[in-house]
Chains A and B, each alone.
Chain A
Amino acid sequence: MFASLGVSPINVILGVTVFWLLLGLGGLALQDNRIITRVIFPVGAIGSLILATAALGGLSGVDTAVLPIGLPDLPFHLRIDSLSAFFLLLLGASSIGITLFSAGYFGRMAVQELGLLCLEYHIFLASMTLVFLADDAYMFMVAWEAMALSSYFLVTTDHDQPEVRRAGFLYLLIAHVGAIAILMGFGVMQGGHGDYTFDTMRHGHLSAYWASITFFLALFGFGAKAGILPMHAWLPEAHPAAPSPVSALLSGIMLKTAIYGILRVSFDLLDIQIWWWGVVALTLGLFTALFGVIFAAVQVDMKRLLAYSSIENIGIILVGIGLTIIFHASGKEALAALSLTASLYHSINHAFMKGLLFLGTGSILHATGERHLGKLGGLIHKMPNLALFMLIGTLALAGLPPLNGFVSEWLMLQAFLLSPGLTQAYINMLVPIAAAALVLTAALAGFVMVKFYGVIFLGQPRDAGLAVVHDAGIWERIGMLCMVAGCIALGIFPTFVILHLDFVAEMLVHNSLGTSAVHSGWLMLTPIAAERASYSPLILLLIIVSGVVLTMLAVKKFYHGRLRRGPAWDCGFPEQGARMQDTAEGFGQPIRQIFEWFMGVVRKMPSPFDLHPHYHAEVHDRLWNIFYAPIKRANEAIGNQIGKLQHGRIHVYLLYSFITLLALLAFIE
């Protein structure tokens, strides 16, 4: 579209980036809340739209640019190819809805320093764009750090609360540990040339040993950003702490920058793949997915629940990547293309589904001021629009047909099912077990989503204050509608999506589903061949809808439509109130009981003689004790030792300096 106008996609995208930065600065300069929410955010959403269109145009080709800014003799290299274009498309398409929602959300929410927030928000968007565009390690790290810092400030918007500050600090810390690992990975890859452009790395050759080191540095570094076990600890803290549109950006888009990084390093920059990397990634992904979903099932804070669910989805994406590496390294390119497509599809799905749900929690938070599931309930009556949007998001995230979450899971399971014939014996056995674990995760996600939706929207209000809540505002609704449209379109028209994903698969694994996927027409999704597997969400939807309509008409025609309202069945106990409903803790209790060995549960039982009994159960992350607590303790111990050096006496300090000087002189000699 832009090519016909004579403008290359990369220039359009750079233009949008600059435009966003200017908008942010404008917001900071104006300091006028009305203009920021009514003009700047909606205009920013137009930027997202342009970005998405340009990225769509950039999917099929490669385009590079060099920016003569930065350090002297070290210009920024930019490049847009299929992989970055896909992620830019994800960024642009899903941020339209989020930004429109923000226009309404920040307008009604009392935020101090809205101008500053506007600046941070747009820098965040721009830096993510630059992460996808970067074509040298220097540019990449600058954009990466800008993204980390701007998101840190966004997370700590409510910095007057101590737990928000703590969450932000943890996030910053893990983000930087990850960044160091990424930097080291780039260091290994440039192989002593001193040239940090990706182009050099692409053409360089690493031995299997160094390639493995690079891969695991990248997996660790990007994993810290994505929330892969065991670097997940920041995620359930930071996502709930941030304002809801920011949570949507974090979970929907920023986690995908890490996925992008893993793909970029392992398929583009490294010239070899070794099959056991895939096994490690697959196993790690499965554990991450299962961990995320099990912990999501026992959460009582709605945003924490969604954050854990994000961990789960990142795990699923990683499973797909692991599978792709295994297939690619074993020379099964068609299957590699299938699993890669599934992974990418799940990435974009997750951006829309999770974005939608986080936005929805924003509206709920806004209307009720309550994040605790135990104090919500019955919102379907007061917020019918929101309830409908969230129902669609919930069903999508639960992986149910005919919505989008199902399509990517379907593709991934197909990849698993078609995998027999791998050469390594143990992998052959790993595949069915991994498929089983993946299916278990998907089924548990259904449990989690029923809990999420049921406790918030259904039943009776658990709190008296809920009687006066109002539905989401118009901007918020428009924003969520964009996300809903994305969920539905991605779910109903998979063949069109896959046509575009094929460019990425072609680039990374030199194969694509292309011709076979649309072989039987756009209606049927047939990844390999029609007799092996086919799925048509549109037909499925049409049948179910016509079944519903037909039944309704038939029942109306042949029988009367009489209806009475009455009290609910009370089982002979007339004093049933809202407090006797199942709570969020109660709903998650079976999962907690089954997986109790897996998590640290702290329980306080009331004594039988207690007049005001209070039952309390809290679920802790055992991995924290295993991975983080020892580091923390070691850190403190070292700190104490070093603290002894500090006496407060000047001559001792002078002595330290003197010894240092002598040591350095001796070293130089």
Chain B
Amino acid sequence: MSASAIFLQLLQNVLVLLAAPLLLGWINQCRAWLQNRNGAGMLQPYRNLLKLFHKDAVLAHNASQLFRTTPYILFACMWLAAALVPVLATDLPLSPAVDVIALVGIFALARVFISLAAMDIGTAFGSLGARREMLVGFLAEPALLMVLFTASTISQSTSLITIVETLAHKQFVLYPSMTFAAVAFVMVLLAENARVPVDNPSTHLELTMIHEAMVLEYSARHLALVEWASALKLLAYMAIGIALFIPYGIAEAGNWNALPAAIALLTFKLLLAGAGLAFIETISAKMRIFRVPEFMGTAFLLAVLGLLTHFLLET
């Protein structure tokens, strides 16, 4: 483990932390433009976080220690997840500790904690949200894992670094199985990050909420951490998407000269992906909650189909 690798890891840790709200701001801004609004500006998420951190926290009478600790756990999990995905360079010292299966495990850990926290207060909305979140999760998690498995079988490894190296540095090869995986992945991304066809991040209707219903009881610094964690999660998912489907231009191990170009390219990819997400959200309408299992089931089956196609076409 070289000093430069550790520096790179720290750099990525700090960068994702700072960039996550900006990405959210960019998506919101794109959405505003697409809907013929001016929008609040790309820096609005930072202002929101700052405001929330300064407020007094209000806790329900019934809240237990679990409820108070969960935002921190959530934040740490998402930070770790976002910092692990190799998007800038392929030698991150932390990556060997967590492979793709463990990465999905971390997402699951965060989901279980936030769902438990939502049930902690004992209001109707909290448990409603928890139940729906777990409903989305139990189909989204396998779908995500299947997408990652498709990439894993191509590169014969579940290590994120090896996957990205194989996909980015091998001679240009089109993988039919990755088409299926990509479609499934976009569906999972929408569902897991509470985006429009599945959930609405800016809703104010308690009865239709999923993610927002779970965090209804959080306020001030706790809410700030939860929101920041959501932004990190979105960034992590986009990073996974970039690492799997468009990894070209990533800096190789020890190649410092390629780093500025890699950062610029990554920024460009993220902006593009954010705009794409805003576009999808603008053209689609939120679906009924019981259409969601169907939607996620489709994603899951597509991902399985991708894996199957790989076994059949590419071996």
User: A interface vs B, CB < 8 Å?
Assistant: 377-378, 380-381, 384, 391, 395, 398-401, 406, 410, 413-414, 417-418, 420-421, 428-429, 431-433, 435-436, 439-440, 442-444, 446-447, 449-451, 453-455, 458-460, 520, 524, 530-536, 539-540, 543-545, 547-548, 550-552, 555, 558-560, 562-571, 576, 578, 580-582, 586-587, 589-591, 593-594
* A531-B162, A532-B157 known, 5 other contacts, Cβ within 8 Å: A436-B304, A535-B101, A548-B72, A548-B76, A581-B124
14 cross-chain CB contacts under 8 A = A378-B122, A391-B66, A395-B109, A413-B149, A443-B139, A443-B141, A458-B116, A535-B97, A535-B101, A539-B98, A543-B80, A571-B206, A582-B131, A587-B130
For residue B307, which residues in chain A have a CB less than 8 angstroms away from its CB?
432, 435-436
Closest CB pairs A-B (n = 5): A547-B76, A459-B122, A582-B127, A460-B122, A454-B119
Considering the chains assembled together, what is the distance between the CA atoms of A400 and B303 in angstroms?
22
Question: In the complex, what residue of chain B is closest to A400 when comparing beta carbons?
Answer: B109
Considering the chains assembled together, what is the distance between the CA atoms of A544 and B149 in angstroms?
25
- Quick check: is B123 within 8 A (CB to CB) of the other chain? yes
Chain B contacts with A in 103-152, Cβ cutoff 8 A = 105-106, 108-109, 111-112, 115-116, 119-128, 130-132, 134-135, 137-139, 141-142, 145-146, 149, 152
Summed over the interface, the residue pairs from A and B with CB atoms below 8 Å come to a total of: 259
- Quick check: is B252 within 8 A (CB to CB) of the other chain? no
- Quick check: is B261 within 8 A (CB to CB) of the other chain? no
Considering the chains assembled together, what is the distance between the CA atoms of A384 and B64 in angstroms?
10
B102 touching A401 by the CB < 8 A rule? yes
Considering the chains assembled together, what is the distance between the CA atoms of A458 and B159 in angstroms?
37
B120 touching A439 by the CB < 8 A rule? no
For residue B73, which residues in chain A have a CB less than 8 angstroms away from its CB?
544, 548
Number of interface residues of B (CB under 8 A): 81
Q: Mark B211-229, 1 if CB is under 8 A from A, else 0.
A: 0000011000100010000
B102 touching A535 by the CB < 8 A rule? yes
Considering the chains assembled together, what is the distance between the CA atoms of A582 and B56 in angstroms?
29
- Quick check: is B6 within 8 A (CB to CB) of the other chain? no
Considering the chains assembled together, what is the distance between the CA atoms of A319 and B52 in angstroms?
49
Interface of B is mostly: helix
A429 touching B115 by the CB < 8 A rule? no
B122 touching A539 by the CB < 8 A rule? no
Rounded to whole Å, the gap between the CB of A88 and the closest CB of chain B is 31
B293 touching A544 by the CB < 8 A rule? no
For residue A439, which residues in chain B have a CB less than 8 angstroms away from its CB?
141-142, 145-146
A547 touching B75 by the CB < 8 A rule? yes
For residue B268, which residues in chain A have a CB less than 8 angstroms away from its CB?
none
Q: A547-B76, A548-B76, A552-B72 are in contact. Are A564 and B56 (CB under 8 A)?
A: yes
- Quick check: is B279 within 8 A (CB to CB) of the other chain? no
- Quick check: is B175 within 8 A (CB to CB) of the other chain? no
Which of the listed residues A520, A539, A545 has the most CB atoms from chain B within 10 Å of its own CB? A539
- Quick check: is B287 within 8 A (CB to CB) of the other chain? no
CB contact between B57 and one of A378, A433, A539, A564 (< 8 Å): that residue:
A564
A568 touching B56 by the CB < 8 A rule? no
Rounded to whole Å, the gap between the CB of A596 and the closest CB of chain B is 12
B109 touching A581 by the CB < 8 A rule? no
For residue A565, which residues in chain B have a CB less than 8 angstroms away from its CB?
58-61, 63
B57 touching A563 by the CB < 8 A rule? yes
CB contact between B122 and one of A377, A451, A562 (< 8 Å): that residue:
A377
For residue A533, which residues in chain B have a CB less than 8 angstroms away from its CB?
99, 157-159
Considering the chains assembled together, what is the distance between the CA atoms of A451 and B152 in angstroms?
32
B123 touching A581 by the CB < 8 A rule? yes
Which of the listed residues B119, B138, B145, B159 has the most CB atoms from chain A within 10 Å of its own CB? B138
Interface of A is mostly: helix
Q: A446-B137, A562-B56 are in contact. Are A531 and B116 (CB under 8 A)?
A: no
Question: In the complex, what residue of chain A is closest to B63 when comparing beta carbons?
Answer: A565
- Quick check: is B295 within 8 A (CB to CB) of the other chain? no
For residue A460, which residues in chain B have a CB less than 8 angstroms away from its CB?
62, 122
Question: In the complex, what residue of chain B is closest to A556 when comparing beta carbons?
Answer: B221
For residue A563, which residues in chain B have a CB less than 8 angstroms away from its CB?
56-59
Considering the chains assembled together, what is the distance between the CA atoms of A578 and B134 in angstroms?
22
For residue A532, which residues in chain B have a CB less than 8 angstroms away from its CB?
156-159, 162
A458 touching B66 by the CB < 8 A rule? yes
Q: A417-B152, A564-B56 are in contact. Are A534 and B97 (CB under 8 A)?
A: yes
B149 touching A417 by the CB < 8 A rule? yes
For residue A418, which residues in chain B have a CB less than 8 angstroms away from its CB?
156
CB contact between A587 and one of B53, B54, B109, B131 (< 8 Å): that residue:
B131
Q: A443-B137, A540-B98, A563-B57 are in contact. Are A458 and B64 (CB under 8 A)?
A: yes
CB contact between B97 and one of A435, A539, A580 (< 8 Å): that residue:
A539
For residue A594, which residues in chain B have a CB less than 8 angstroms away from its CB?
293
- Quick check: is B7 within 8 A (CB to CB) of the other chain? no
CB contact between A534 and one of B122, B137, B159, B221 (< 8 Å): that residue:
B159
For residue B202, which residues in chain A have a CB less than 8 angstroms away from its CB?
none
B123 touching A576 by the CB < 8 A rule? yes
For residue B77, which residues in chain A have a CB less than 8 angstroms away from its CB?
544, 547
For residue A399, which residues in chain B have a CB less than 8 angstroms away from its CB?
105, 108
Considering the chains assembled together, what is the distance between the CA atoms of A668 and B221 in angstroms?
92
A534 touching B290 by the CB < 8 A rule? no
For residue B98, which residues in chain A have a CB less than 8 angstroms away from its CB?
535-536, 539-540
Q: Mark B33-62, 1 if CB is under 8 A from A, else 0.
A: 000000000000000000001101111111
Considering the chains assembled together, what is the distance between the CA atoms of A641 and B120 in angstroms?
60
A400 touching B62 by the CB < 8 A rule? no
A429 touching B308 by the CB < 8 A rule? yes
CB contact between A446 and one of B123, B125, B141 (< 8 Å): that residue:
B141
A551 touching B76 by the CB < 8 A rule? yes
Considering the chains assembled together, what is the distance between the CA atoms of A255 and B301 in angstroms?
33
Rounded to whole Å, the gap between the CB of A392 and the closest CB of chain B is 12
For residue B66, which residues in chain A have a CB less than 8 angstroms away from its CB?
380, 391, 458
For residue B276, which residues in chain A have a CB less than 8 angstroms away from its CB?
none
Rounded to whole Å, the gap between the CB of B307 and the closest CB of chain A is 4
For residue B138, which residues in chain A have a CB less than 8 angstroms away from its CB?
440, 443-444, 446-447
For residue A458, which residues in chain B have a CB less than 8 angstroms away from its CB?
64, 66, 116, 119-120, 122
Chain B contacts with A in 67-94, Cβ cutoff 8 A = 69, 72-73, 75-77, 79-80, 94
Q: A547-B79, A582-B128 are in contact. Are A536 and B97 (CB under 8 A)?
A: yes
For residue B76, which residues in chain A have a CB less than 8 angstroms away from its CB?
543-545, 547-548, 550-551
A540 touching B102 by the CB < 8 A rule? yes
- Quick check: is B96 within 8 A (CB to CB) of the other chain? yes
Q: A436-B300, A548-B72 are in contact. Are A535 and B137 (CB under 8 A)?
A: no
For residue B59, which residues in chain A have a CB less than 8 angstroms away from its CB?
563-566
- Quick check: is B311 within 8 A (CB to CB) of the other chain? yes
Considering the chains assembled together, what is the distance between the CA atoms of A398 and B111 in angstroms?
12
A446 touching B112 by the CB < 8 A rule? yes
For residue B54, which residues in chain A have a CB less than 8 angstroms away from its CB?
559
Considering the chains assembled together, what is the distance between the CA atoms of A539 and B102 in angstroms?
12
CB contact between B105 and one of A401, A459, A545 (< 8 Å): that residue:
A401
Q: A398-B108, A439-B146, A450-B115 are in contact. Are A414 and B56 (CB under 8 A)?
A: no
For residue A414, which residues in chain B have a CB less than 8 angstroms away from its CB?
101, 158
B304 touching A566 by the CB < 8 A rule? no
Considering the chains assembled together, what is the distance between the CA atoms of A539 and B97 in angstroms?
6
A433 touching B123 by the CB < 8 A rule? no
A568 touching B119 by the CB < 8 A rule? no
B108 touching A400 by the CB < 8 A rule? yes
Considering the chains assembled together, what is the distance between the CA atoms of A605 and B75 in angstroms?
43
- Quick check: is B171 within 8 A (CB to CB) of the other chain? no
- Quick check: is B3 within 8 A (CB to CB) of the other chain? no
For residue A421, which residues in chain B have a CB less than 8 angstroms away from its CB?
315
Considering the chains assembled together, what is the distance between the CA atoms of A509 and B124 in angstroms?
53
Question: In the complex, what residue of chain A is closest to B146 when comparing beta carbons?
Answer: A436
Considering the chains assembled together, what is the distance between the CA atoms of A395 and B115 in angstroms?
13
For residue A524, which residues in chain B have a CB less than 8 angstroms away from its CB?
96-97
Question: In the complex, what residue of chain A is closest to B98 when comparing beta carbons?
Answer: A540
CB contact between B142 and one of A395, A443, A566 (< 8 Å): that residue:
A443
- Quick check: is B153 within 8 A (CB to CB) of the other chain? yes
Considering the chains assembled together, what is the distance between the CA atoms of A353 and B308 in angstroms?
34
For residue A569, which residues in chain B have a CB less than 8 angstroms away from its CB?
60, 123, 125, 216-217
